[in-house]
Structure 1
Amino acid sequence: MISNPLEHLADVPEITIGFQRPDGSTGSTPIWVVHVGDDLFVRSMNGPHGGWYRRLVARPDAEVRDKGHRHPVHAEPVRDTTTLAEVTRAYGAKYEGSPYVRALLDENAEAATLRLVPR
């Protein structure tokens, strides 16, 4: 029995997250996801000013998708410094070798970290 229906996303290199805009329309964007402990986390490489991040903070109920799976989630901002450091390490390890990972390891991106909770 899977305790967390999002657990399989830990090994997926990229997911798509759907969000709602202020005008009520919807959109989606591909993002990288990491697993720390029992939780999944996403982070905006553009920091707190990233569009999808701002939309999820404003309306935290969202949907994530990978190959054929759809999962309703609730996005929770992460402020705990220990957890943020663990998420940074997880991004560095999972995406090591990618020229894009560096943008997810700095303080700006760290300030835009969300925990994805099944709903």
Structure 2
Amino acid sequence: MTDWNDSDLGSIGAAEELDLESERADGSLRSPVTMWVVRAGDQLYVRSVKGVEGPWYRGTRTHQQGRIEAGGVRADVTFRDADPGEYADVDTAYRQKYSHYTSIVEHVLTDRARASTLRLEPR
């Protein structure tokens, strides 16, 4: 695993949204999908509101790598399944960062969404 540098970690973690492009079987990138991103400790995470059945999440399963862009940073990443032990910290990060979206933030805090938690690791 490669670690984020402090500058990129801070910029991406502070961004309101992230664009994610997952890699297809032929190595080309899918169209970007815009989503929320959170930082918990020195890691970055995304979740699918639709859980593991969400189309963009399913797209990450092919090669488990792709590209993200957020906060002025564009990076090639590996998508790693988060360990269930990480979920509580990720939940807290979502609540803190997106609390102003009161009626929406709860959708990323369900068991279905938690099951799709991906850690973004730079390549």
Q: TM-score, normalised by structure 1?
A: 0.87
Q: Which residue in 2 is equivalent to 1:56?
A: 60
User: Conserved in 2, the CA contact under 8 Å of 1:6 and 1:71?
Assistant: no
Structure 2: runs of 5+ lacking an equivalent:
none
Query: How many residue pairs were aligned?
Result: 117
Q: CA distance change for structure 1 residues 6 and 116 in 2, over 3 Å: closer, same or farther?
A: farther
Q: CA distance change for structure 1 residues 11 and 68 in 2, over 3 Å: closer, same or farther?
A: closer
Structure 1 counterpart of 2:20, from 17, 20, 33 = 17
Identity of aligned residues (%): 31
TM-align CA RMSD: 1.9
Q: Distance in 2 between matches of 1:88 and 1:25?
A: 29
Q: TM-score, normalised by structure 2?
A: 0.85
Q: Distance in 2 between matches of 1:103 and 1:36?
A: 18
**Amino acid in structure 2 at the alignment position of 1:34:** V
Q: Which residue in 1 is equivalent to 2:84?
A: 80
Q: Distance in 2 between matches of 1:67 and 1:113?
A: 21
Q: Which has the higher strand share?
A: 1
**Amino acid in structure 2 at the alignment position of 1:50:** G
Q: CA distance change for structure 1 residues 25 and 75 in 2, over 3 Å: closer, same or farther?
A: closer
Q: Which residue in 1 is equivalent to 2:97?
A: 94
